[in-house]
Structure 1
């Protein structure tokens, strides 16, 4: 039996690449999929899905970078960052009211596949291997949500920031040297701390030799040190 800890899951996004689920489709199903999807280019800042709107498609991010967030009366809460080859809004596809439970927009110019919702559900009903793969995606999304709640409610400021940087490196950009098209305000919303606190911790991490930060470019120098702060900070 395999046991997982909170540290086995990132808190900023899902690690697995969702495109793998399409490997379980037959050639005939893949041919039909091409007929039931459209590909759209989105410009930086454009909205992909709107909280409370009807779910007509399954959204698949082919390239670019997106975020999903809950819209509040005074402030939005960023739930996750979505890297390429991931579904967006999958948890809303078969909800009680068939409405999106959150919004999503893109950080950079992005390419998105919109798959007809009814066709997607038929694939789940007719192909058990594909269905199990989708269930696995939803299960990991749930685990990430638990991990995020744990981080936001139990970790101190420095631990939250270290946690996010490691997650971005390992699960989003797949590199220790990456360019983040995300504002300090969005960092603040992701971490649940003030913008001033984000800037201060970045400065402290840089002075401590943990990370080199130049504008939107981040280079993690001491990944193990960041992980230690993430686990105990």
Structure 2
């Protein structure tokens, strides 16, 4: 009886919190309350580590928000109020600079985005924008922290996500500092093929300018090297459709730097 009363009180607490923070969303974005997290085909594996009552708490706190292509999901320098789970679509995480941006990472559906900020200083150090129409589950940050404190298995799953994202950024920094332009772009093409799209043929939703921002290169050098790879038969390019024809050569270029 006491547990049921406590759960109801917590749900009410986070419900009213959501009503007060709804203004953080893009006013044009469409949203709704979650109603069946347990059966959702896009749910996070971390939910399997929670007790049923705790999943109910997440469901009661969760808002499902639809973002159109190009819309910001969160803005660099703003406060973290929610954990963000990308249920559908794809997004880019990027640092906004004075003269140019640096795209840190692309993320596809069924993944948390921005957890390192949630467990850090609670300020977004990057902007997250939708690369296509996307659906994001926004869960009250305080609730996620409370559940992580009392459930070590759940915390472990979240920590793995943070560790993978952090290690990826570390490698990216090393590549930017140590590799020449051709090696850098070769690694990027292989990463898109093997890790992001898991296919040797994929539709890249980035513009040429964004590919340059992802590779920390000028757009002129990016276009020039892509055309060289195409001319040499290493990759195929048809608009936004890329085909990795000779991955072993790209890998060798990347290794040589």
The two structures have a TM-score, normalised by structure 1, of 0.88
Task: Provide the rounded CA distance (Å) in 1 between the counterparts of 2:193 and 2:44.
Answer: 20
Q: How much has 1:70 moved relative to structure 2?
A: 1.4
Say how many residue pairs are matched. Answer: 216
The residue number in structure 2 matching 1:77 is: 102
Aligned: 1:135 with 2:159: yes
Alpha-carbon distance between aligned partners in 2 of 1:23 and 1:232, rounded to the nearest angstrom: 43
Cα distance in structure 1, aligned partners of 2:77 and 2:69: 22
Q: Separation in 1 of the partners of 2:229 and 2:97?
A: 31
Q: Does 1:180 align with 2:204?
A: yes
Alignment of 1:1-233 (within 5 A): 19-96=44-121, 98-233=122-257
In the TM superposition, residue 77 of structure 1 has moved relative to its aligned partner by 1.7
Tell me the C-alpha RMSD between the 2 structures.
1.6
- In the alignment, the residues of structure 1 paired with residue 243 and residue 158 of structure 2 have an alpha-carbon distance, to the nearest angstrom, of 34
Shift of 1:227: 1.2
Distance of aligned partners of 1:171 and 1:219 in 2 relative to their CA distance in 1, 3 Å threshold: same
Paired residues of 2:236 and 2:245 also in contact (CA < 8 A): yes
User: Quick check: which has more Rg, 1 or 2?
Assistant: 2
In 1: Cα distance, 2:173 partner to 2:202 partner: 26
Give distance in 1, aligned partners of 2:71 and 2:128: 9
Larger relative helix fraction: 2
Unaligned segments of structure 2, at least 5 residues: 1-41
SS at 1:75 equivalent: coil
